Amino acid sequence: MEMAINMADIPVNSLATAPRIKPKTGRDDWIMRAFILIIGLYLVITLALPLYAMLSKSLNTYAFDLSRYEIQINTGTGWSKTTPVTNLNEASKKFKPADLNTSSDGRLPIVDMIEGFSFRSPTLYRLRNAQPGGAFLSGSERITDTEWHEFTSNKFRRVSLKPVGATGLDNFFQYFSNPALFNSIYNSLFIAIVSTIITVSLAFAFAYAMARSCMRFKGVFKVIAMAPILVPSLLPGIALVYLFGNQGMLKILMGDQTIYGPIGIIAGSVFFTFPHAMIIIQTALSISDARLYEASDALGASKTKTFFTVTLPGARYGLISAAFVVFNLVITDFGLPKVIGGQFNVLAVDIYKQVIGQQNFEMGAVVSVVLLIPALLAFSVDRLVQKKQVALLSARSVPYQPIPNKRFDRIMFSYSSVVAGLIVTALVVCQYAALVKFWPYDLSLSLNNYNFDVMDGGGWGSFYNSIKMGFLVAVIGTVVVFTGGYMVEKAPGFALGRGLFQFLAMLPMAIPGMVLGLAYIFFFNNPVNPLNAIYGTLAILVICSITHFYTVSHLTALTALKQMDKEFESVSASLKQPFYKLFSRVTVPVCLPSILDISIYLFVNAMTTVSAVIFLYSPDTTLASVAMLNMDDAGDIAPAAAMGMMIFYANSLARIFHHFASKRLYTRTQAWRTR
Amino acid sequence: MADKAPFLKIRNLTKMFGTFTALKDISLDISESEFICFLGPSGCGKTTLLRAIAGLDIQTHGTIEQAGKDISALPPAERDFGIVFQSYALFPNLTVNRNVAYGLENAGQNKKAIKERVSELLEMVGLADQGNKYPAQLSGGQQQRIALARALATSPGLLLLDEPLSALDAKVRTFLRHEIKDLQAKLGITTVMVTHDQEEALTMADRIVVMDHGTIEQVGTPIEIYREPATLFVADFIGEMNQLAAVAGKDNTARIGDIEFTCNPHSAKEGETGILTIRPEDIVPQTDQTKTNGANIIDVTISEMEFLGAFWRATLSDEKLQGRRLLADFSINAVSRMGLKIGGQIKVAFPQDAMRFYGNGN
């Protein structure tokens, strides 16, 4: 039995001499790493590279460099001596230095700098590039050599200079020297901050009623409060137009104010961000520890005092988190200010105007970068706060149970009814507007407005496109996100790869949809990109939407996966079973409720999103939400409302289906949950 | 057993987590069919050592051989072991039958053979009729046994148990101790169990490996560990132990003030300070009160007495002990026969073979 180690057997300095063990990487490890790499690569291609393309675009500057061209003029008395074109401009004082900045497509007709130019005059001109690398156009012919080219006056009027590209911050200087542009920063911040304060206050009171009162019909209130998630953000804009617009039902209430501007944007923002804030705050309130209230009660604190010393501090992280989420949603939203913003410019709409309206892609990229800053900031603070929130939870906490209090419950019920009433009103107004023949002149009901095929925007096809895209995003996205989440959570070792993956998975939340969409143009519409083929197809819309909504889905997957016993993988490996058997037989079935949640989240968002896809759809792939925007733009507001309500019904149907599917699944495959 | 090659041969194992050294140069041999317990306080490295053996957290340096094969760098799936965790890690959505069958599938066995093996295993752990239930429908002890059956299903050469009984209540724990021990003896499977519960280790193990701060303090049978603790840490960690500051004397003696005790052989040099130890149950009350003092017998006063059910625990003091207090366990019999009570004076003997001196090395 004497087996104890003889210490003399062990080399004294074995620590220094023993070779380092290099763990052998098993087959499962290789497969998991391959998955991380593949999905990581997906995120690099659909997120990191496009963003990089956009950033570098914002630093690309184009300007006409007049010193690169030399000119000779023959007014009939022989050729003048060679002069740089710069001198022409100095003589005519036509362009100031700032005027020479342009975009990549800029052209400068050279005759603009010649005073008294007439295309009928017999004067001859010679132009050449003073150095290699310059370019000018004669008609549509591009001339890059350094030879002299001779033109008659008639020909010369069709000669224009091409800008020279460079890298620098000039675009940003230009942006900040243009008040029309940088005023939008102030406007966007103003809208976002005011909307945040109003939304969070309203949502807190509503969540408080839900969590702390014994009022009736909580289920109904909850369903109504969540309804705005099911519609595009421009729908409340349309409702507001019908209520308070120039021909609005309640225009009288507006006095001399107009709904087209900050008031409209804020009102609409409160509507569409309300459910997001409500759900965060309600979660924060529902994890409050009942023991704290008992202690407060036992110490004789008044209700008000308890509210300020227990309730508010307990929910503070939820409130902060809700505030930043709302702020981010509002400042990055595009649909609502587009519909109801009037002359009030905000950053997200500026991007659209620069890109679609003026074709100035560089300036669009600059505004995107500007918009990225507050979005990234809000995102970082939110993540920081979320981490702290988790630390607040303790396993021993006792959930708070509200006690009936007639007066308090009645007040809470009244308040909740008002909020729910407003939400329902907006939806009803839209539906009514969609059915009215010709507001406000012919109030008879008809389905004329549903005849989308005769309107601009894509017709019924766009609605079916949306449904199709929603399905594809839900199915493909769920598979990608959940598999990626599993690999990053359960793969052993490979810390660097997993860290990088995690970063990429969190990034989309900080990237506004407009910015992502524009980045996709720069990246995928580049002819040298081998992935150029997907540009203009449904595929790019699906990919863009999956990436756009990646983070929340990823976090949902991680939460579910973290609840799985971390030793399942060890046990399975010890039984010599491949990880994919565990994945398919245990992980996926156990996480099925969360997987369904991810897919419905992706579906609903794919149906309502406007911002990212507005830059990416083609005539064949118009979407319902985009059609809504375009119809509104064309003045067909009633059909836009009709389309908005179609999205609402499609999403509601999906939600109901999801609800029953989950329930059915629960009873059929989750039998193990019941003891 | 000593002439047979060890089943598990661990040499110079070191595990670093960043700059923290979780295991320091561990070497250990485990024979076939042995039941070994890694015992120590939390953070001593016992679980790290088990996970290194399983390949779940592979060591930084050092080698492990199992059945003559170097497994040092192999991933868990390429090693030969079954494992039971404190959480059991039963797959919640699979029935008991399918949990146990999990490792038997795709091993080339047909359905009937698997079914037979599963019922055999369930019978073995005494849960033959529970096969169609889900884990959540079973008690903690039952789940534990299912986890054991699942780990044993593939007939592994090595069974690893990571605090398997810690999550259970005391009564079930005692019962399962015997169950597991009997099963292990019957199957003759080499078993390593990690525990922080010394009673568990003492009752179940063939040999105990006592660990502290990433090193092995002592390896020995439960009796060796209890009776002959190699270090003061082991003496302190296992069971109750009186620890008295003392000074080493000549010829295996140690002194407290004027009193000299003869103890087990020790290596401390004369004048070295250290700790003199004796277990409370080893202090013997003397019936013959007229016997002269000296030769490890002294007079003491009983200053406290506490009834602990099976025996009395007395606190002894005396001015010659210079304020040191001793715990002594007296049988109920002895107490009533000798009329021991608080304030009473008695002579007690300190048997030489029960006394150990651990020098401070100064």
pLDDT in tens, A601-632: 999 999 999 998 999 999 999 999 999 999 99
What band does B1 get if pLDDT is binned at 50, 70 and 90? very low
pLDDT for the residue numbered A521? 93
Q: Are A596 and A661 in contact (CB under 8 A)?
A: yes
A212: pLDDT strictly greater than 70? yes
- Cβ contacts of B103 on chain A, cutoff 8 Å: 574-577
Q: Are B312 and B340 in contact (CB under 8 A)?
A: yes
CA–CA distance, A43 with A31 (Å, rounded to integer): 18
Q: What is the pTM of this model?
A: 0.85
CA–CA distance, A447 with A437 (Å, rounded to integer): 8
* Tokens, residue B167: 């999550």
- In the three-class reduction of DSSP (H, G, I as helix; E, B as strand; rest coil), residue B248 is classed as strand
Residues 6 or more apart whose CB falls under 8 angstroms from that of A200 comprise A277, A281, A319, A322, A323, A326
* Tokens, residue B259: 């009193």
Contact check, Cβ <8 Å, A15/B134: no
Cα-based torsion angle of the residue sequence B30, B35, B36, B42 in order, rounded to the nearest 10 degrees:
150
- In the three-class reduction of DSSP (H, G, I as helix; E, B as strand; rest coil), residue B209 is classed as strand
| Residue A567 φ/ψ, nearest 5 degrees | -90, -5
A105: pLDDT strictly greater than 80? no
What band does A671 get if pLDDT is binned at 50, 70 and 90? low
Nearest CA to B154 out of B55, B54, B81, B88 is that of B81
Rg of chain B, C-alpha, whole Å: 25
Contact check, Cβ <8 Å, B221/A1: yes
The alpha carbon of residue B120 and the mean position of all alpha carbons in its chain are separated, in whole angstroms, by: 31
CA distance B294 to chain A (A): 36
Query: What's the mean pLDDT in B346-361?
Result: 90
pLDDT for the residue numbered A486? 94
pLDDT for the residue numbered A239? 95
CA–CA distance, A58 with A469 (Å, rounded to integer): 31
Flag the least confident range among A165-174, A651-660, B258-267.
A165-174
What band does A12 get if pLDDT is binned at 50, 70 and 90? very low
B59: pLDDT strictly greater than 90? yes
> What residue spans of A287-311 are helical by DSSP H?
290-298, 303-306
* Tokens, residue B18: 């960043």
- In the three-class reduction of DSSP (H, G, I as helix; E, B as strand; rest coil), residue B345 is classed as strand
Instruction: Specify the long-range contacts of residues A32-38, CB closer than 8 Å, at least 24 apart.
Output: A32/A487, A32/A490, A32/A491, A32/A494, A32/A579, A33/A491, A33/A494, A33/A497, A35/A483, A35/A484, A35/A487, A36/A484, A36/A487, A36/A488, A36/A491, A36/A494, A36/A497, A36/A498, A36/A501, A37/A497
Contact check, Cβ <8 Å, B29/A9: no
Nearest CA to A100 out of A68, A145, A72, A125 is that of A68
| Residue B269 φ/ψ, nearest 5 degrees | -85, 160
Give the residue from chain B lying closest to A577, CA to CA.
Answer: B103
pLDDT tens digits, one per residue of B2-20: 457 899 999 999 999 988 9
Residues 6 or more apart whose CB falls under 8 angstroms from that of A73 comprise A79, A80, A123, A124, A125, A126
What is the DSSP annotation of A149-211? EEEEHHHHTTEEEPPEEEESSHHHHHHHT-HHHHHHHHHHHHHHHHHHHHHHHHHHHHHHHHH
pLDDT tens digits, one per residue of B223-236: 999 999 999 999 99
Q: Are B81 and B53 in contact (CB under 8 A)?
A: yes
* Tokens, residue A611: 């911002």
CA–CA distance, B356 with B21 (Å, rounded to integer): 31
- In the three-class reduction of DSSP (H, G, I as helix; E, B as strand; rest coil), residue A655 is classed as helix
CA distance A35 to chain B (A): 19
- Residue from the list A24, A568, A576 with its beta carbon closest to the beta carbon of B154: A576
Contact check, Cβ <8 Å, A577/B103: yes
- Residue from the list A9, A575, A672 with its beta carbon closest to the beta carbon of B154: A575
A10: pLDDT strictly greater than 70? no
Give the residue from chain A lying closest to B63, CA to CA.
Answer: A21
Query: What's the mean pLDDT in B344-350?
Result: 90
Q: Are A164 and A65 in contact (CB under 8 A)?
A: yes
Residues 6 or more apart whose CB falls under 8 angstroms from that of B29 comprise A3, A5, B6, B8, B9, B10
What is the DSSP annotation of A119-137? TTS--EEEEEESSTT--EE
Residues 6 or more apart whose CB falls under 8 angstroms from that of A288 comprise A211, A310, A311, A314, A315, A400
pLDDT tens digits, one per residue of B194-226: 999 999 999 999 999 999 999 999 999 999 999
Beta bridge partners of residue A141, listed in sequence order = A138
CA–CA distance, A36 with B20 (Å, rounded to integer): 29
A552: pLDDT strictly greater than 60? yes
- In this predicted complex, what is the ipTM? 0.86
Q: Is A418 exposed, middle or buried (0-12, 13-18, 19+ CB in 10 A)?
A: exposed
pLDDT for the residue numbered A1? 38
* Tokens, residue A259: 């709904």
pLDDT tens digits, one per residue of B272-321: 999 999 999 999 988 776 666 667 888 899 999 999 988 999 999 888 88
Query: What's the mean pLDDT in A199-219?
Result: 93
* Tokens, residue B59: 């060591």
Query: What's the mean pLDDT in A313-342?
Result: 90
Q: B 64-83 residues with CB below 8 A of A?
A: 72-79, 81-83
Mutate to test the interface with B, among A571, A581, A590, A669 (most CBs of B within 10 A): A571
Percent over 90 (pLDDT), chain B: 72
CA–CA distance, B176 with A605 (Å, rounded to integer): 53
